[in-house]
Every structure is written in structure tokens, then in C-alpha cells.
Chain A
Amino acid sequence: MISERKTVIAREPFDPGVRHRNRRAGLWRRVFKAATAVGIVFLAALLVSIVNDAFGYVAIENSIDPAALSPDGTPLAALPKDVLTQILAANVSKGLFRRFEHDHPFEDRTQEDVHGLVPEHVVEPKIVAQWTLWDSLTRQRAIAEDVATRYPDAELRFETWLDVAFITSPQSADAARAGVRTAILGSLWTIAIAIVIAFPLGVGAAIYLQEYATENAINRVIQTNITNLAGVPSIIYGMLGLAVFVRALQPLTSGALFGLADPTTANGRTILSAGMTLALLILPLIIINAQEAIKAVPNSLREASFGLGATRWQTIWHHVLPSAMPGILTGTILSISRAVGETAPLVVVGASTYITMDPSGPFSKFTTLPIQIYQWTARPQSVFRNIAAAAIVVLLGLLLSLNAAAILLRNRFSKRAL
């Protein structure tokens, strides 16, 4: 045996191949690093492409030059009401003018109101071309020349798609005037309803499973079921919402039961249905997060409380919940930010494609920020991409502040616990 091994070594000198192996290790280390870098590059590309679309030059063509309208060259905004009314009467069709008169007599209208009609119906500014932020910054001169040759009548302007007016104005068919006010309010309403329903139920279920449930068949089924529900695609929740909340519970969700139904729709496609659907969607996430938080509370705390003669509920309410609260709240806020970004289930539940009225309560028709983004992105006209990008910035801002709130909350609570 021994002699045999000696001969082998003698024939082939021992070579661990360290250099070769180290080179390969180094190569692969770079590959793994590159994979991580690719992830970051994608995130950067995502953010850059959104910002790139949210700002940039636009070429606007007016069907009538506003300066030519004004009799003595004063800007339109400074003209008195009757002059503006004359301009309107002279430039729009008789039928349209009669309709304005019918909607709201010109005698009662304010100067601003009449002035608002002039650009929309007489000047009719139309965006004929738009450029990305990158192009606007790097190719200014080329863009100016391009506009001068292709659209001689157009005015070139740097458009900040995301501005205060965008956030405060309602939806509009005209991209330049459209805003996300209705969508933001819709998002806030649905989320509020989702929280009110899902938070108590979720925390309650988590307490039951962590503190009360014994190891038996029912509790095992509940636990497995929650894990599986967390993996169900969100669109399935949308279909559940459509079948149960919108259709089966229509008297409740449309508000007809309370005599509060919105007369224009009076069906179940309301904020309440949307909020309840989102509540079901985030319920498993809240339960799982809350369970983790409750699990992390040391047992000594419970035992000390029991030792002092406290009942189970007293122990939970006075000791377990307070020390699990930061974890529960963080988990809840993370689930909420998931709900804020959900689109598919709400489309299925029946978000309205076009509403300009602010929601007045849980029985109103609804649209939300992600749905607005989806509808604008799906439009063929490229100018809607720009306002979709601006709406995305708003949505990401909202999510970022939610996450920041989660972190702040966690820090504050954990300090107090110490």
C-alpha cells in the first residue's frame, strides 16, 4: 500500500492548481458582483427613464394666435369679461356658445371663468411634439431648428409635467390640463378603508394564532391557509371582489341599503368595494408580519405577567402588544405600500376610466393613482406617456414617504421600549 502511493506521487508531482483555481475564483467573484451591479443598473434605468419623461420641451401649436385675438394687444388674462365674451362669441360655433350660456349664463360668470374657456375652445393649444429631458438638455439647438422647420407656427416651451397644477387639477381628456387630484383622493379613500378593515382583523388573527391557538387541525389549517393566501396572485382577489363585493353585495357596496347610492352609477363598483378587496389582499401579509412581531416578544415577559396573576388577555393587552407594536406597525405599513401600488385587482373590480369629480364618500365611483398611470400608459398618443411619468413620480413619492414613516415609527417605538 505505502509503496504504491509513493510511486504515484513520484510519477505525478502533487499540484493543487492553486493559481488556476484562484484565478477562477476571482473571475466568478467578479461575475457575482456584476449580477448585483446589473440589478442596480436596472433600478437606475427605471428611475432615469421616468424622470426623463416627466420633464422636457414641448412644441405647442395654437389654432389662433392669442395675441391676434386681443383687440389692443393686452394679454387675454387682463381683458374685461365682456371683451372675452365677444371673443368667444366670434370664434366658437353658435351651438357651442348657446351651450355655454345654457350651462351657466354669461352674466353670472366671473372673468376668470370666461377666460378659462378662451384657451380651451378658441386658442386650442395642441401639443404637436415633445422631447425627453435628456434631449432637451443636450440638443436644445437641434430641437429649436427642428420645430422651426416642421412646425413653423408652433411655440417651443419647457414643460414641467409634474407641477402643483398637475397634483391639484382633476382628470382631463387634454394631457396638458390633466391632473391626478381625483386619483390621489381615490387612492387615499381606498387605502383608508382597507386599513380600517384589515388592521384589526389581521392583528386579531395574529394574536389568536400566536397566543391562543393550540396545536390542532383547525389551527393548522388556518395557518397553512394564510401562507397560501399570501401567494395567490392579486388579480384573483380582484375577481373575488368583483363576484362578492361588487355583484353579490351590491345593495351594501353601492350604498343603496343606506339610501346613499350615487345616482349616476348605483352599482357596486365603488370605493367601498375597492377598499374591501384591498383589505382581503393585504390581510395575509398583515397577519404574517404581525405574527413575526409577536413571536419576537420574549416569553419571560409573558411569564412575569402570568406570575403576577394577570389573565391571558391582560398579559397580551398590557405586555405583549405594546412590545410587539413597532414590528406590527412596520409590517402593516409595508403591506399598505403594497396596496397603494396595486392595480390589477382594482381594474377587475371596476375602476372608472374617466371621472373628474372628487370622490364624495365610500359609495362614489373611484379611480386610483396606479390605475390612472395604467390608463395613461395604455393610450396611443405619446403625450400621455409624459403625464404617466409625472404620475409615477407622485406615486413613488407617496410610497417613499410611507416607507419613511415606517422607519420613523419603528425607531420611535423601539426607543420607548428601551
Chain B
Amino acid sequence: MAMAENERELRTLARTGSDSMRGLRRRPRVAETLIQTFLFICGAISILTTVGIVYELGKESLLFFTRRQWEQTNKPLAEDIEADRTAFEVSTSGKPLPVGELIRIGEEIMRVQLVEGGTVTVERGVRGTTATAHRAGLEIQAAQDVTLVEFFGRTEWNPQIGKFGIWALVNATLITSAVALSVSLPLGLGVAIYLSEYATEKARATLKPIMEVLAGVPTVVYGYFALTFMTPLLRTLLGTRTVEIYNTASAGIVMGILILPLVSSMSEDALSAVPNSLREAAYALGATKLETAIKVVVPAAFSGLTAAVIVAASRAIGETMIVAIAAGAGPNFTFNPFKAAETMTGHIVRISGGDLSYNSLDYNSIFAIGLMLFVMTLTLNIVSQHIVRRFREEYE
């Protein structure tokens, strides 16, 4: 094909006359430019993905924090009121109305100024609404703002009754991740040191594929394993009264197994990158294999090992199916790993599982949680890349 093209070019040259007429200038190649542009667009699509993630998460979270949620008070209006009445009777049932806050009857928004027994004094038609007449029995709704202080300061999450404390979910995520890391880090480092320092070539050739199989098992299968194997095991060992059927410990341990291959393969890469001359120098000084591994190789590979730990943490925080299946279905602020608690990811999956309607409170809330999750994992990933770049020991 290249030949044919050259021939064609030669023929064109002969037709158009001497070479000097057209010179040896670079001729524009339309096809090549088009191809290059197309390939650039392929690369740029990844940027679009990031922009999409940030935009959608940000937009919906902003709606979550700025949209006024109206909460049912179960307190109906006790009498018919005209558009100019500012004090009226309300039912004694339901939640008390907060003074100074906004309430809503029908489409009209009012500000509560005084509450005396069953009589409420309000300022009518605030926030751009017009005062109209209302009939007795209409439900009064109370304003519910989600503030950042509430979001980050409270420990109870239940948007339906106006509880927006993200810590209930973050805490469960941190517990499962901590359990997972305390399983996978010692084991993963052990595996990595064994594979890179001790194992024979033959042993490595069989062990590495096994670790890869462990990494290739879908997470939903691990979730099944946690629920049907690990939880019963924990309940047999520690008693059914200590360990609930759904618990964060079981999910965490199985998650540890899931990220074990990640830790071991990243750590092994870091250890293998340490040049042999360092090991040989240590042996020459009379160090044992253990002393060489612990005092020479591990410190030399430290940046790589740290990066492995951080990437593992990021993976654990974002892990979804194991916690969705085994950790529990309900936000619960507890430090006891044997109790059920829902993580951020588990909550997102459970809420979006049904036919979620757009613009609902739940829809906005899962995006706020998603943004939090995105920021946490992205920070960890960036830190790990930074550590690898900044603290890498370069050897010739």
C-alpha cells in the first residue's frame, strides 16, 4: 500500500513538472491530520468522563444542600384561616413548631413568630409566596435545611425524618476499611516478601497466578462468601449474641482477602525493583536473609510499599458489593465491628436499588454521599502517586 502511494506521488511529480517547482516543503496530509485529531478526541474523552463525574456529583450535591426539604409534622390546621389572619389554632398532635423557622401550608410559606399552646402567630406569605385562605385539616410542613454543619457534625443519617449526619455512614466505611487493611496489610506484605525474597522461581510461577485468581473473583462473589461463610464462622467462634447476622467485621475481613492480591502484587513490584547489588552487599556483610529483607530491601522499597497501602485503603473505601450484602442495611453509628452498620457505598446501592425518582431527596442525597466518596478516594490516589514520585529511591 505504501508502495502504491509512493508510485502515485512520483507520477504526480512527473505530471506537475520539476521538483523545484513544488519544492521539498512538507505537504499537508489531510488524512493523517484527521486521524491524529480523531485519536486526540479519543484521549480527550477520558477528560470528559472526569468532567462529567465532577459536574454531576457537584450539581446534585449542591441541590441537596440548597434545596429546602419540607418535612411532615403530622400537625394539621385546626381552623379555616383567611389570607390576612396571622394567629390561628393548630392541632396539638404531631411535632412542635420551631419559633423563627419557616413552615408551609399548601403552597404558602410562613415564618413562625410565636407559639402559645395551640395558637401560632406567623408572618404570612414570605419567600415570594402569596397569602391565601386555607381550610382546617391541612397538613403543616416544617422547613428542613441541610447545612454543612449538620452534614459533618451529626451522627445520624435518615433523610426521611430530617437527619443528615454523614458520620453514621462514614464511620461504618472507616470500620470496614480498617478491618480490611488490618487483614490485608500484614498478609499482603508477608506474601510479597515471601514471593520476592524467598520463593524459588518455580514456587513463584504457581503462586502468582493463584493470587491473580483471587484478584479476579467478582466482588459480589466475595459478598456471598462473607454472608454464607465468614459470618457463620464468626458467629460460631464468638457466639451468636456478640455477632449480629449482618456485621462490619465479616465484611471487612472478606474485603481484606479481596485486596490482599492488590497489596501483595504492588508490594512485590516495589521489592523486586530494589537492585540485587544491595542484597548482595548485605549478604557479604554476613546478614541473614531476614535481616537483608527487613533492614535493607524493605526500607529501600518504602515509597512503593506506602503507595500500596494507600491504594489498598482507597480500594477498601470504594468497595461496594461486599458491604452491601454483608455489612447491614441501615445506617448505624457504632464502633462495634460485630454490629450491623451501613457504609456509604452500601447506602448508595440500597437507595438506588428501587426505581429512584429524580429530584427526590434520596436521589440528591446519594450524590452528596457519592461526592464525599469521590473526594476521599481521589485524595488517597493522588497522595499515593505523589509519594511514589517524591520519595522514590533511584538506583543505577
**Which chain A residues have a beta carbon within 8 Å of chain B's beta carbons?**
16, 21-22, 24-25, 28-29, 31-36, 38-40, 42-43, 45-46, 49-50, 53, 200-202, 204-205, 207-209, 212-213, 219, 221-222, 225-229, 231-240, 242-244, 247, 280, 283-284, 287, 308-314, 318, 337, 340-344, 347-348, 350, 353, 370, 373-374, 377-378, 385, 388-389, 392, 395-396, 399, 403
Contact = CB atoms under 8 A, between A and B. Distances in A.
Contacts of B366: 239
B1 A242 contact: no
Contacts of A318: 1-2
B276 to A, nearest CB: 19
Nearest to B40: A208
Given A32-B198, A36-B195, A308 B2 contact: yes
Given A25-B290, A36-B207, A242-B352, A392 B47 contact: no
Contacts of B2: 308-310, 314, 318
A311 B53 CA distance: 38
Given A205-B39, A239-B56, A313-B31, A233 B218 contact: no
Given A235-B373, A348-B348, A392-B221, 11 more contacts: A32-B197, A36-B195, A39-B211, A49-B229, A204-B42, A207-B42, A208-B42, A213-B43, A235-B320, A343-B321, A395-B218
Contacts of B52: 240, 244
Nearest to A233: B318
Contacts of A32: 190-191, 193-194, 197-198
A287 to B, nearest CB: 7
23 contacts: A29-B194, A31-B190, A33-B198, A35-B194, A39-B187, A39-B214, A43-B213, A200-B42, A204-B39, A212-B40, A222-B43, A225-B50, A226-B46, A233-B377, A234-B320, A235-B318, A239-B352, A239-B366, A240-B53, A309-B2, A313-B31, A343-B220, A347-B352
Question: Per DSSP, are chain A's interface residues mostly helix, strand or loop, or mixed?
Answer: helix
Given A35-B190, A39-B211, A228 B352 contact: no
Contacts of A343: 218-220, 320-321
Contact of A233 (B35, B260, B373): B373
Interface in B361-382: 366-367, 370, 373-374, 377-378, 381-382
Contacts of A207: 39, 42
Contacts of A40: 207, 210
B224 interface: yes
A232 B320 CA distance: 12
A29 B195 CA distance: 11
B103 interface: no
A359 B38 CA distance: 33
B119 interface: no
Given A35-B187, A233-B317, A377-B223, A46 B217 contact: yes
Nearest to B33: A313
Interface in B328-346: 345
B324 A340 contact: no
B373 A201 contact: no
Nearest to A287: B46
A157 B47 CA distance: 57
Nearest to B321: A343
A205 B40 CA distance: 7
Contacts of B190: 31-32, 34-36
Nearest to A204: B42
Contacts of A347: 349, 352-353
B216 A399 contact: yes
The 7 closest A-B pairs by CB, nearest first: A233-B318, A341-B218, A35-B190, A204-B42, A344-B320, A208-B39, A32-B194
A374 B47 contact: no
B278 to A, nearest CB: 18
A130 B223 CA distance: 21
A392 B225 CA distance: 11
Contacts of B311: 231
B321 to A, nearest CB: 5
A239 B224 CA distance: 24
A287 B39 CA distance: 12
A39 B221 contact: no
Contacts of A370: 218, 220, 321
Nearest to B381: A231
B355 interface: yes
User: Which of A204, A337, A353, A396 has the most chain B CB atoms inside 10 A of its CB?
Assistant: A204
B282 interface: no
Contacts of B381: 227-228, 231
B49 A235 contact: no
Contacts of A240: 49, 52-53, 56
Contacts of B38: 204
B319 interface: yes
A353 B353 CA distance: 8
